[in-house]
Amino acid sequence: MATASTMIGLFLRLVALLAFGCVGLMMLAIAIGHTLVLPDNELLFNANLQGYDSDIYRLDIAYRLMVNITRGSNHIDTEPVWSPDGQHIAFDSNREGRYTIYLMDAQGGNVHSLRNASTYAYGPAWSPDGRSIAYLTIQFPISRELMLTDLQSGTTRRLTDNREAESFPNWSPDGRHLIFTYDGNPKYQDIFELDLQTGDINPLIVTPDTERSPIWSADGRSVLYIADGSNPGVYIWDIEHARSTLVYALTAFNIYAPDWSTDGRFMVFAPLSSNNDNHIFVLDVEACLQKNRCLSATSPAAPIRYICQSTLATTPTMTRYLIRLSSRITLASAFLVLLALLVGHRLVSTDNEIIFTGQPTNSNTAYSQLFRMDITHRLVYQLTSKFSPANSPTWSPDGQQIAFVGIMGEPPNVIYVVDAQNGTSRRLTSAHPQQHAEFSPSWSPDGRFIAYRSSRFDLLPELVITDTLSGTTRRLTINIDEEDNPTWSPDGRYLMYTSSSPNNRDIYRLDIQTGDTSSMITTPYDDLFPTWSPDGRYLLYISGSQQGDIDLWDSTSHQSILLYPPYSYMHAAPDWSPDGRYIIYTAPTGTGSAIYRLEVAPCLEKPKTCNAERMTFGSGNYADPRWRPRKP
């Protein structure tokens, strides 16, 4: 019996340890998988970033991750708002002709129009209990009125009935009142309050100037609003004492459609711009109140800027609700662990991530910036600021570091290495600004060395290699030709590169051990951007000075294969996916250049019938795409 009791005790302790381990794994998985997508840390906004009509985007504030969740064409989606539980989104769209209100889930699926919503409806506002949506509708010939639709029954009722124009409805936290902008005076607008139980409408904020875009605080004690006129700015109205406090003076631009965080600390808004080059600001309201007034700022190049404070505190996320589930140690927790890990892995899977350089037309900078993209979810965020432009990025073999050329700084055009996780960077090479420049870094398969093009020795572009641990550098080529685009063979013994001749550029091979060089691919045209397939069978390169074919050199047959004809494009800077299934490259567009993805197998079977998928949109120049390697 003692032995049986001991065994039972050990078994129970083992079960307890496994249960707590499941809980710990679930917490970690949730943190990894959900911090990127929880709505409390996110913004919704609409923009025409894809180069056509407006779409709706989700933006993670902390990680600068952005995803297009409508991806429409030939219609305009605007004014998105979260449901109170963060699981759904309401917005207005003309996708069926006239503008009306639509609903969808938080990932952009299950899109459907609001039942019995009026035509020419826009500006939805979700009630705090999630059961109703208030919105605006145009009643011809002249009025603009407030409407309310019950989501369960579909019943719709009119809240206002006059010849004046209402706009910007916003709910009180208890769901009893709506505040809105009332255009009852021909010279200015004021803010009125509607009691939904009695139907009474009364003025809340009335001055000789215009007050608009009201937002109720989460505690119901104050209202944030925008004032135009003699003293333009962001104000907070104290309901109990009936007085306003200036938060932020608007002297450089105006504001449209602000929103207030649930903790009352931050306001997010888009400044109105005359050149349609808008950005998103986050304003620290508490810091502004402590300083009595915040000076306004010009529009930044980054999509988010903290005007009064450099850090952004995150509000409570849905993770806390999932943690409550962990107190119940059941088989369901193990399922949640697997599910959370799956979600987390899909968002950060290295096989689906690329880096590239980009210079969007509206970026307000003359230099390219460094970006990362999750291909599966189209999540894009910027790694470098307009003050630290970059080009020629490349991943380390373990996918944990990125080497790139810093264009500006002291000195310029030298190679930096940045940690892909925490963003810390260090300078790998150094030089006098007037002596040389370095380009096209390429990491050795063991991660020890970086080969690159440099003019540090005699001002002619030669191949150079630097030990990333010791920092020692040695020259690989010595001649009067120009070498560029070095790439390592999978076994690390050879470097493939391009070298100039009097008439064109060809591809050569350099033995790292012996220093011997030999020609690999020579044609009457320029042969550029060599890169080995992961299995070492194919050498991918671009051929043709006027056409830019994507070709493969087969190491088994020693023959070149036309993989993808240019169709009048000049392809550049190709790279392989870690599994060898895809090739990613740059090609020109009508408004700059874009990044494309091409599946290799269909092109090998029928080279002239395969199609490439465009990965970046909008006007601007996007180049140097590089796939993140698989972790060892």
Tell me if 544 is assigned to some domain.
yes
Here the tokens at position 253 are 């631009």
Sheet containing strand 527-532, strands side by side: 527-532, 538-543, 549-554, 559-564
Number of domains in the chain: 3
| List of E strands, 106-209 | 112-113, 121-126, 132-139, 143-150, 156-158, 165-171, 177-183, 190-195, 201-205
**51: exposed, middle or buried (Cβ count in 10 Å: 0-12, 13-18, 19+):** middle
Q: Judge if 329 and 274 occupy the same domain.
A: no
Tell me if 47 is assigned to some domain.
no
Q: Which contacts (CB < 8 Å, 24+ apart) does range 404-407 have?
A: 404/370, 404/441, 405/438, 405/439, 405/441, 407/367, 407/368
pLDDT of 297 over the 60 cut: no
Tell me if 115 is assigned to some domain.
no
Q: What is the mean pLDDT of residues 322-329?
A: 28
Q: Which helix (H) or strand (E) holds 593?
A: strand 592-599
Q: What is the dihedral of CA 156, 162, 164, 169, to 10 degrees?
A: -30
Q: Judge if 192 and 266 occupy the same domain.
A: yes
What is the spatial distance between Cα 1 and Cα 443, in angstroms, rounded to a whole number?
A: 64
Q: Judge if 578 and 468 occupy the same domain.
A: yes
Q: Judge if 392 and 460 occupy the same domain.
A: yes
| Single-letter residue type at 417 | V
Q: Judge if 405 and 300 occupy the same domain.
A: no
Model pLDDT for residues 69-79, shown as the tens digit of each residue: 887 667 888 88
What is the spatial distance between Cα 286 and Cα 301, in angstroms, rounded to a whole number?
A: 24
pLDDT of 89 over the 60 cut: yes
Sheet containing strand 254-260, strands side by side: 254-260, 266-272, 281-284
Q: Judge if 385 and 460 occupy the same domain.
A: yes
Sheet containing strand 494-500, strands side by side: 483-488, 494-500, 505-511, 517-521
Q: How confident is the model at residue 566 (pLDDT cuts 50, 70, 90)?
A: low
Q: How confident is the model at residue 429 (pLDDT cuts 50, 70, 90)?
A: confident
Q: Which helix (H) or strand (E) holds 343?
A: helix 331-348
Closest CA to 437 of 466, 408, 403: 408
Tell me if 423 is assigned to some domain.
yes
Half-sphere exposure in the Cβ direction for 243 (13 Å, CA):
2
Q: Which contacts (CB < 8 Å, 24+ apart) does range 308-315 have?
A: 308/283, 308/284, 309/284, 312/61, 312/62, 312/266, 312/282, 313/263, 313/265, 313/266, 314/40, 314/41, 314/61, 314/62, 315/40, 315/41, 315/261, 315/262, 315/263
Q: Judge if 301 and 386 occupy the same domain.
A: no
pLDDT of 341 over the 80 cut: no
Question: Which residues is 552 bridged to in the sheet?
Answer: 540, 561
Question: Which residues is 543 bridged to in the sheet?
Answer: 527, 549
What is the spatial distance between Cα 160 and Cα 158, in angstroms, rounded to a whole number?
A: 6
- Helix, strand, coil content of the chain in percent (nearest 5): 10, 45, 45
Closest CA to 374 of 94, 83, 33, 96: 33
pLDDT of 19 over the 90 cut: no
Q: Judge if 337 and 387 occupy the same domain.
A: no
Model pLDDT for residues 255-291, shown as the tens digit of each residue: 777 888 877 877 887 766 544 445 667 777 877 777 5
Say what the pLDDT of residue 23 is. Answer: 46
Residue that is written with structure tokens 């933006």 in the block: 59
Q: How confident is the model at residue 619 (pLDDT cuts 50, 70, 90)?
A: low
What's the domain range around 231? 164-316
- The three-state (H, E, C) secondary structure of 34-76, written as one string: HCCCCHHHEEEEEECCCCCCCEEEEEECCCCEEEECCCCCCCC
What is the spatial distance between Cα 73 and Cα 95, in angstroms, rounded to a whole number?
A: 9
What CATH number should be reported for the domain holding residue 243? 2.120.10.30
Q: Judge if 272 and 407 occupy the same domain.
A: no
Here the tokens at position 304 are 């988010």
What is the spatial distance between Cα 133 and Cα 522, in angstroms, rounded to a whole number?
A: 67
Q: How confident is the model at residue 442 (pLDDT cuts 50, 70, 90)?
A: very high
Backbone angles phi, psi at 107, to 5 degrees: -95, 0
Question: What is the DSSP-derived secondary structure letter of residue 567?
Answer: T
Tell me if 395 is assigned to some domain.
yes
Question: Which residues is 541 bridged to in the sheet?
Answer: 551
Q: How confident is the model at residue 564 (pLDDT cuts 50, 70, 90)?
A: confident
The number of helices, as runs of H, and strands, as runs of E, in the chain is 5, 46
Q: Judge if 434 and 512 occupy the same domain.
A: yes
Model pLDDT for residues 467-517, shown as the tens digit of each residue: 999 989 999 988 878 889 999 999 999 999 999 877 788 999 999 999 999
Q: Judge if 339 and 469 occupy the same domain.
A: no
DSSP, collapsed to helix, strand or coil, labels residue 140 as coil
| List of E strands, 342-482 | 353-360, 369-374, 379-382, 390-395, 401-406, 414-419, 425-427, 438-443, 449-454, 462-467, 473-475
Mean pLDDT for the chain overall: 76
Tell me if 40 is assigned to some domain.
no
- Residue 603 CB neighbours (<10 A): 22
Model pLDDT for residues 508-542, shown as the tens digit of each residue: 999 999 999 999 998 888 889 999 999 999 999 98
Say what the pLDDT of residue 91 is. Answer: 92
Asked if 66 contacts 57 with a C-beta cutoff of 8 angstroms, the reply is yes
Question: What is the DSSP-derived secondary structure letter of residue 26?
Answer: H
Q: What is the mean pLDDT of residues 97-110?
A: 88
Asked if 460 contacts 482 with a C-beta cutoff of 8 angstroms, the reply is yes
Tell me if 132 is assigned to some domain.
no
Say what the pLDDT of residue 361 is. Answer: 60
| Single-letter residue type at 586 | T
Asked if 533 contacts 500 with a C-beta cutoff of 8 angstroms, the reply is no
pLDDT of 626 over the 70 cut: yes
Identify whether 124 is preceded by a cis peptide bond (ω within 30 of 0): no
- Residue 472 CB neighbours (<10 A): 9
Closest CA to 293 of 305, 307, 275, 281: 307
Identify whether 632 is preceded by a cis peptide bond (ω within 30 of 0): no
- For the chain, the straight-line distance linking the first and the last C-alpha, in angstroms and rounded, comes to 50
Closest CA to 564 of 526, 608, 594: 608
Angle at 167 between CA 162 and CA 171, to 5 degrees: 105
pLDDT of 86 over the 80 cut: yes
What is the spatial distance between Cα 482 and Cα 258, in angstroms, rounded to a whole number?
A: 54
Tell me if 116 is assigned to some domain.
no
Asked if 496 contacts 516 with a C-beta cutoff of 8 angstroms, the reply is no
Closest CA to 391 of 378, 404, 375, 377: 404
Q: Judge if 508 and 569 occupy the same domain.
A: yes
